[in-house]
């Protein structure tokens, strides 16, 4: 089956042009300029951007990946898909090893079905001093052997590990992760600049929500932020929700790392797509007020209620990114982090037909995943 989308403003890695594209058997087969050669579905001048790739998401629609419930996980993926996320990583939070293994095994089934792109362990190998919304009682020192056990529960679908580089055993565990094709990400960390670089030298390649849950920039103690921003091997995650970061810090990261090393994530929890109220993030009680999630005890920010369409819109409106750059930080760069950029993440011939149709106001008007409409634009 072939679908032609005509009268579109197509956002490609090379720029934005007026034109059309054809989708066949779930792939993009033609991208052209001007008028489409045959009949097509007119998008009336709306934008087509690549489907969003969210590499850090805990939940939404009232559901939470850490619960390890497959129906809940399907509900979360469906909510984020309506907001344009066509590739989604399921992020777990610190829990007991048994609970982690159980959730991982349940979610691995959904990775095999193609619903999820992988599983991310955010904890338990993180710093007590920087644990944010994670249960401090369940934190552990990293151990490559123990981590190998968790990997086995994931049957090859554990794709990312957030780890504090300064903990005993951390560097060996980063090496174990890298050797198994797991992306090691430095975060929830109290590391110095030097300890952070040692983590990168051991194989870490991502900064888990840069700035949040790590020591702030200091002119004599630059800490992890400066190390992660300046090292060309590292891609930095940003939670661009207007709550976690001051816009100046978002711009600073873009200016130093550039769109090729910056990814926008949601870090969304159960309340995404829902109203204010009481929720759980793993074992922790969270209160959501005016869309801001905070631990019921202590008030730490506890994930977000962000969706990727809002992150995209804010990148253009608040941070001043071009449409092409916004597509890069929400799709192409995160796809590259996952090693999937040859298959998806851009509106290019041969890529998976994962597309988001956006209005002039950058609201979602349609979403296509693997060539099928999730929401068909009218």
Which residues of this chain interact with Zn ion, rule CB under 5 A? 122, 267
Among candidate residues 54, 190, 231, 267, the one labeled active-site is: 267
Closer CB to Zn ion, residue 122 or residue 176?
Answer: 122
Closer CB to Zn ion, residue 122 or residue 341?
Answer: 122
Q: Least distance to Zn ion from the beta carbon of 203, Å? A: 21
Q: How far, in Å, CA of 43 to CA of 260, rounded?
A: 29
Q: Least distance to Zn ion from the beta carbon of 337, Å? A: 15
Check if 267 is active-site.
yes
Closer CB to Zn ion, residue 72 or residue 267?
Answer: 267
Q: By the 8 A CB rule, do 161 and 112 touch?
A: no
Sheet holding 235-239, edge to edge: 52-54, 85-93, 118-122, 158-163, 183-186, 206-207, 235-239, 262-265
Q: Which of 357, 358, 360, 355 is nearest to 372 (CA)?
A: 355
The distance of Cα 255 from the centroid of its chain, to the nearest Å, equals 20
Q: Least distance to Zn ion from the beta carbon of 271, Å? A: 14
- Give residue number: closest CB to Zn ion: 267
Placement of tokens 């001048």 in the chain: 45
Q: How far, in Å, CA of 218 to CA of 210, rounded?
A: 15
Q: How far, in Å, CA of 79 to CA of 75, rounded?
A: 6
Sheet holding 277-281, edge to edge: 277-281, 284-289, 292-295
Decide the pairing of beta strands 284-289 and 277-281: antiparallel
70-82 and 97-112 helices, crossing angle to 10° = 60
Q: Least distance to Zn ion from the beta carbon of 90, Å? A: 11
Q: Least distance to Zn ion from the beta carbon of 321, Å? A: 23
What are the tokens at 295? 């631990």
Closer CB to Zn ion, residue 122 or residue 325?
Answer: 122
Q: Least distance to Zn ion from the beta carbon of 324, Å? A: 28
Closer CB to Zn ion, residue 231 or residue 267?
Answer: 267
Closer CB to Zn ion, residue 266 or residue 346?
Answer: 266
Q: Exposure string (b/e) for 161-173, b if CB count within 10 Å is 16 or more?
A: bbbbbbbebbbeb
Which residues, 6+ apart, have CB-to-CB distance to 376 below 8 Å? 366
What positions carry a catalytic annotation?
A: 267
């Amino acid at each position: 089956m072939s679908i032609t989308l005509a009268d579109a403003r197509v956002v490609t890695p090379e720029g934005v042009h007026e034109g059309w594209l054809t989708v066949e058997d779930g792939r993009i087969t033609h991208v052209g300029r001007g008028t489409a050669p045959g009949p097509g579905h007119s998008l009336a001048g709306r934008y087509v951007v690549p489907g969003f790739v969210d590499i850090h998401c805990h939940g939404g629609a009232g559901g939470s990946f850490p619960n390890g419930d497959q129906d809940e996980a399907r509900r979360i993926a469906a909510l984020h898909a309506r907001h344009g996320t066509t590739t989604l990583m399921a992020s777990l939070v610190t829990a007991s090893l048994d609970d982690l293994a159980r959730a991982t095994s349940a979610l691995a089934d959904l990775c095999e079905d193609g619903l999820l792109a992988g599983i991310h362990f955010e904890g338990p190998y993180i710093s007590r001093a920087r644990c944010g919304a994670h249960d401090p009682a369940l934190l552990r020192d990293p151990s490559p052997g123990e981590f190998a056990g968790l990997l086995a529960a994931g049957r090859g679908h554990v794709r990312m590990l957030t780890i504090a580089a300064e903990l005993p055993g951390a560097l060996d565990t980063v090496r174990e992760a890298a050797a198994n094709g797991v992306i090691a990400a430095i975060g929830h960390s109290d590391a110095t600049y030097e300890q952070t670089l040692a983590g990168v030298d051991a194989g870490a390649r991502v900064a888990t929500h840069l700035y949040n849950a790590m020591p702030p920039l200091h002119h004599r103690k630059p800490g992890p932020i400066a190390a992660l921003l300046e090292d060309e091997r590292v891609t930095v995650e940003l939670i661009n929700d207007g709550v976690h970061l001051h816009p100046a810090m978002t711009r600073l990261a873009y200016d130093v790392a550039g769109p090729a090393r910056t990814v926008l994530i949601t870090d969304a929890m159960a309340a995404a797509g829902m109203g204010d109220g009481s929720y759980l993030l793993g074992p922790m009680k969270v209160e959501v007020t005016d869309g801001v999630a905070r631990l019921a005890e202590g008030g730490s920010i506890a994930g977000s209620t962000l969706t990727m369409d809002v992150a995209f819109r804010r990148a253009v409106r608040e941070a001043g990114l071009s449409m092409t750059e916004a597509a890069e930080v929400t799709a192409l760069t995160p796809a590259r982090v996952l090693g999937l950029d040859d298959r998806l993440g851009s509106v290019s011939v041969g890529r998976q037909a994962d597309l988001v149709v956006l209005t002039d106001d950058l609201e979602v008007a349609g979403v296509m995943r693997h060539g099928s409409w999730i929401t068909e634009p009218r």
